[in-house]
A and B are shown apart, each in its own frame.
Chain A
Amino acid sequence: MTLRLAVVGAGAVGRSVVELAPEYGHVVTAVADSRSSAVDPGGLDAEAVFGRKEREGVVGSGDPDDALAAEYDVLIEATPTTLGDAEPGFSHVRAALERDRHVVLANKGPVAERYADLMALEAESAGTVQFEAAVGGAIPILSTIADFGPTQITAARGVLNGTANFILSRMAAEGLGYEHVLAEAQDLGVAEADPAFDVEGTDAALKFVILANVLSDGEQVYSLADAEVDGIRSIPASALDLAAEDGRTVRLIGEATADGVRVGPRLVPQHDALAVTGTRNIVQFDTVHAGQLHLSGRGAGGPETATAILSDVSRLE
């Protein structure tokens, strides 16, 4: 079935969704960035929309809110993650649900910071909310939890921030200091100019907060304020050397367990499943009857995240 998609947020993820939607048999009827929108009930052309954005800095001539008012079946919320009230993402989601439309989020803010509000809106709406893309990019983490059933999984832990993992694994492999590797990561586009969100553990914490919300299955609601978060900035090369001497390494590990949410640098055996290298992500589930389960893959990137979004869209058909 062809679904009509309205894509809010025209960064790498939003753009990839618009580009890949035809391959999945869907049509994009609206695209908005923070300043403009393009709306066409007959379907937008990715090249035309993003060509204009590159040339003129806008996706179209409309007001951003026009996209929310357009004809669509599914709203794709791919604006940057914001903390606290999770705006403007949360209002976008509200607008769609109040119109009984489905919502697929890549934005972590509304799911991590306002999970109870989000679930309440969904309960009142004929639309449903999906957010696979908010946790671990292309890796089917939330759909695996849905398949197993949240009560069948007792804990989730792992590496869900590629930037921090890249920095730690490069520091360990090359014996280089944090600042040196960070600069290298920035040159490669693996780290942002302001890397705080990644290296202070916030991004990973938001993902584990979302996992905790999903795993708790309504028993308890978590937000970032409930998480114990520690970053990697203060780790010297000497710490990784000492770890390596003992067959270990350090990774920024998140945990969503019955004890709550915790993210911080942890010692893990060098050959542990969780000691992935580079920007790779991994999540490990403890299951009630089936031991441990590991899911690993690319946790970020435009096409990778768009893949998760379009899988979510397919579940709505």
Chain B
Amino acid sequence: MSDEAAPTPESDADVVVSDPETDGGERPQTHTIRLELVDKPGELLSALRPIAENGGNLLSIFHERGNLTPRGHIPVEVDVECPPDRFETIVDALRDEGVNVIQAGAERYGEQLTLLLVGDIVDTDLSDTLRRIESSTDATLADLSLSAPEGRGGASSARLRLATRTGRTDEVFAHVRDIADEKELNLIEPLVEVAE
């Protein structure tokens, strides 16, 4: 299964159409939200408040205090129960609070983009490139592989996997393209076959 925006299989669409909606609304479902928090007091509490305020029932919090992400953030996994139509509101509220939502409900929100950067990647300051991709978009770096067989001076390649929200991919690519242009790097984008 490709992790790009794959076309919805027809069978899934059929299930959605045939699923009857009751008067009481859809039943609550469990969703997993992955957050990254800055390591300072009160961060966890302010991250959880938007969940409760928007009708989410907090089921569990997995807080890896000692395990920092490459960016020095603390990964937190939250299980939330809410009706499906409330879930988007909760994620939006979290983002409005400035909480870094890495992944929300794997299927619908965890859109991942894989792209290649080619050129003088190391000497054009790879960390700066990555930092700028993250700061100019709401995408976060989920994975990075670098291949520089000719050493620092020669053409090297980097494969980036960016986690972003559904519907934001065009925006992310536009920013990455600008940054690549500026650093004279070649960007190889994935072919996203589904029209926006």
Q: How far is the CA of A257 from the CA of B192 in the complex (A)?
A: 12
Query: Is A155's CB within 8 Å of the partner chain B?
Result: yes
CB distance from A161 to the nearest CB of B (A): 15
CB distance from A294 to the nearest CB of B (A): 12
Q: How far is the CA of A243 from the CA of B157 in the complex (A)?
A: 10
Contacts of B119 in A (CB 8 A): 234
Contacts of B54 in A (CB 8 A): none
Q: Which of B2, B149, B189, B195 touches A257 (beta carbons < 8 Å)?
A: B195
* Residue among B156, B157, B191, B195 facing the most chain A CB atoms (10 A cut-off): B191
Query: Is B122's CB within 8 Å of the partner chain A?
Result: no
Q: Is A236 a contact of B189 with CB atoms below 8 Å?
A: no
Q: Is B155 a contact of A242 with CB atoms below 8 Å?
A: no
Q: Which of B2, B156, B189 touches A238 (beta carbons < 8 Å)?
A: B156
Q: Is A265 a contact of B2 with CB atoms below 8 Å?
A: no
Q: How far is the CA of A236 from the CA of B189 in the complex (A)?
A: 15
Query: Is B179's CB within 8 Å of the partner chain A?
Result: no
Contacts of B116 in A (CB 8 A): 239, 242-243, 250, 267
Q: Is B145 a contact of A234 with CB atoms below 8 Å?
A: no
Contacts of B188 in A (CB 8 A): 235, 239, 243, 250, 264-267
Q: Which of B2, B115, B118, B193 touches A157 (beta carbons < 8 Å)?
A: B193
Q: How far is the CA of A257 from the CA of B170 in the complex (A)?
A: 15
Query: Is B147's CB within 8 Å of the partner chain A?
Result: yes
Q: Is B159 a contact of A245 with CB atoms below 8 Å?
A: yes
Q: Which of A235, A250, A269, A286 touches B2 (beta carbons < 8 Å)?
A: A269
The residue in chain A whose Cβ has the minimal distance to the Cβ of B154 is A236
Q: Which of B118, B154, B161, B190 touches A239 (beta carbons < 8 Å)?
A: B118
* Secondary structure dominating the interface of B: strand
Query: Is B129's CB within 8 Å of the partner chain A?
Result: no
Q: How far is the CA of A292 from the CA of B191 in the complex (A)?
A: 15
| B93-135 vs A, Cβ < 8 Å mask (1 yes, 0 no) | 0000000000000000000001110110000000000000000
Query: Known contacts A236-B156, A239-B157, A242-B145; is A157 also within 8 Å of B191 by CB?
Result: yes
Number of contacting residues on A, CB 8 A? 31
The residue in chain A whose Cβ has the minimal distance to the Cβ of B170 is A259
Query: Is B61's CB within 8 Å of the partner chain A?
Result: no
Q: Which of A237, A269, A274, A286 touches B195 (beta carbons < 8 Å)?
A: A286
Q: Is B190 a contact of A234 with CB atoms below 8 Å?
A: no
Query: Is B48's CB within 8 Å of the partner chain A?
Result: no
Query: Is A248's CB within 8 Å of the partner chain B?
Result: yes
Q: Is B189 a contact of A242 with CB atoms below 8 Å?
A: no
Q: Is A274 a contact of B159 with CB atoms below 8 Å?
A: no
Q: Is A248 a contact of B114 with CB atoms below 8 Å?
A: yes
Q: How far is the CA of A304 from the CA of B158 in the complex (A)?
A: 39
Query: Is A316's CB within 8 Å of the partner chain B?
Result: no
Query: Is B32's CB within 8 Å of the partner chain A?
Result: no
Q: Is A242 a contact of B158 with CB atoms below 8 Å?
A: yes
Query: Is A268's CB within 8 Å of the partner chain B?
Result: yes
Q: Is B157 a contact of A238 with CB atoms below 8 Å?
A: yes
Query: Is B89's CB within 8 Å of the partner chain A?
Result: no
Query: Known contacts A234-B118, A267-B114, A267-B115; is A242 also within 8 Å of B157 by CB?
Result: yes
Q: Is A236 a contact of B159 with CB atoms below 8 Å?
A: no
| B3-40 vs A, Cβ < 8 Å mask (1 yes, 0 no) | 00000000000000000000000000000000000000
Q: Is B186 a contact of A234 with CB atoms below 8 Å?
A: yes
CB distance from B148 to the nearest CB of A (A): 7
* Residue among B148, B149, B159 facing the most chain A CB atoms (10 A cut-off): B159
| A242-266 vs B, Cβ < 8 Å mask (1 yes, 0 no) | 1101101010010001100000111
Contacts of B149 in A (CB 8 A): 237-238
Q: How far is the CA of A242 from the CA of B159 in the complex (A)?
A: 6
Query: Is A220's CB within 8 Å of the partner chain B?
Result: no
Q: Which A278-317 residues sit within 8 Å CB-CB of chain B?
A: 284, 286, 292
CB distance from A244 to the nearest CB of B (A): 10
A–B pairs, 17, beta carbons within 8 Å = A234-B118, A234-B186, A236-B118, A236-B154, A236-B157, A238-B156, A238-B157, A246-B145, A250-B188, A257-B195, A265-B188, A266-B190, A267-B114, A267-B115, A267-B189, A267-B190, A286-B195
Given A234-B186, A272-B2, 10 additional A-B pairs, CB 8 A: A154-B195, A234-B119, A239-B118, A241-B147, A242-B159, A250-B116, A250-B188, A257-B195, A286-B195, A292-B193
Q: Which residues of A contact B (CB under 8 A)?
A: 154-155, 157, 230, 234-239, 241-243, 245-246, 248, 250, 253, 257-258, 264-269, 272, 274, 284, 286, 292
